[in-house]
Chains A and B, each alone.
Chain A
């Protein structure tokens, strides 16, 4: 089955830029859209990126998404880091072969 792999954790200082990767196991990650969800401790997830690079209203432009077909990966980049960005981030896409949604394992972002 199609899988998405994320780093377990990343850390960076306030004001800096961090990039979280999401690598597809097979096929082309560009074949279906990738979404990114933020989950702060004790809260439900919220959507920060949809359709690879689109931001929902209310999500600051410090958040951006991209696809790199050469590495079969998607990336979430957060610039100008704030302590409030500290959260778990999950990528998600659609597995057409199995009509299923697939989530990455999640990346814990620490801003220190």
Chain B
């Protein structure tokens, strides 16, 4: 069965960096777009970034462009999110998610990883 397991969430100081990972299993990883979506405490869902199956197509939300970098390693069935210059308003649960195409949305979600940015 499809599984997406995030890791790497932590408490980090403002201006710091963190790398999230998402381990995928149960499907042919390279066939799917992967994305990161976050949810600040008590707030709604907020799309961060997506990457195509080959890794050649990448887009970011304005709020993170230039600070966050999405990548994937298809040999390791893994998705990553490198987060730099973190700010307090980046505090959120970060979900990785799978989709067959960018216009059809998400079919599977991970359980989420909590990132807290605080001094």
Tell me the chain A residues, 85-112 only, with Cβ under 8 Å from chain B: 88, 90, 92-94, 99-106
Query: B105 an interface residue at 8 Å Cβ cutoff?
Result: yes
* Bound CA–CA A39/B108 (angstroms): 13
Query: B84 an interface residue at 8 Å Cβ cutoff?
Result: no
* Bound CA–CA A90/B59 (angstroms): 21
* Bound CA–CA A101/B46 (angstroms): 9
Judge whether A100 and B61 touch: CB under 8 Å: yes
* Bound CA–CA A33/B106 (angstroms): 11
* Bound CA–CA A101/B105 (angstroms): 8
Give the interface segment out of B14-22, B67-75, B109-117: B109-117
Closest residue of chain B to A102 (Cβ to Cβ) is: B47
Judge whether A101 and B104 touch: CB under 8 Å: no
> CB-CB contacts of B86-105 with A at 8 A, as 1s and 0s?
00000000010000001111
Q: Which of A33, A46, A56, A103 is the most central at the interface, judged by chain B CB atoms within 10 Å of its CB?
A: A103
Tell me the chain B residues, 53-92 only, with Cβ under 8 Å from chain A: 59, 61
Query: A45 an interface residue at 8 Å Cβ cutoff?
Result: yes
Residues of A within 8 A of B61 (CB): 100
Judge whether A47 and B47 touch: CB under 8 Å: no
SS class of chain A's interface: helix, strand, loop or mixed? strand
Query: B44 an interface residue at 8 Å Cβ cutoff?
Result: yes
> CB-CB contacts of B29-44 with A at 8 A, as 1s and 0s?
0000001010000001
Report A32 CB to chain B, min CB distance, Å: 5
Within the complex, which residue of B35, B110, B112 is in contact with A101, where a contact is CB–CB below 8 Å?
B35
Given contacts A44-B111, A44-B112, A100-B61, contact A32 B103 (CB under 8 A): yes
Report B22 CB to chain A, min CB distance, Å: 12
Report A36 CB to chain B, min CB distance, Å: 9
Q: Chain A residues in contact with chain B, CB under 8 A?
A: 32-33, 35, 37, 39, 44-47, 50-51, 56, 88, 90, 92-94, 99-106
Could you jot down 10 A-B contacts, CB within 8 Å?
A: A33-B103, A44-B110, A44-B111, A45-B106, A47-B109, A90-B44, A92-B47, A101-B35, A103-B44, A103-B45
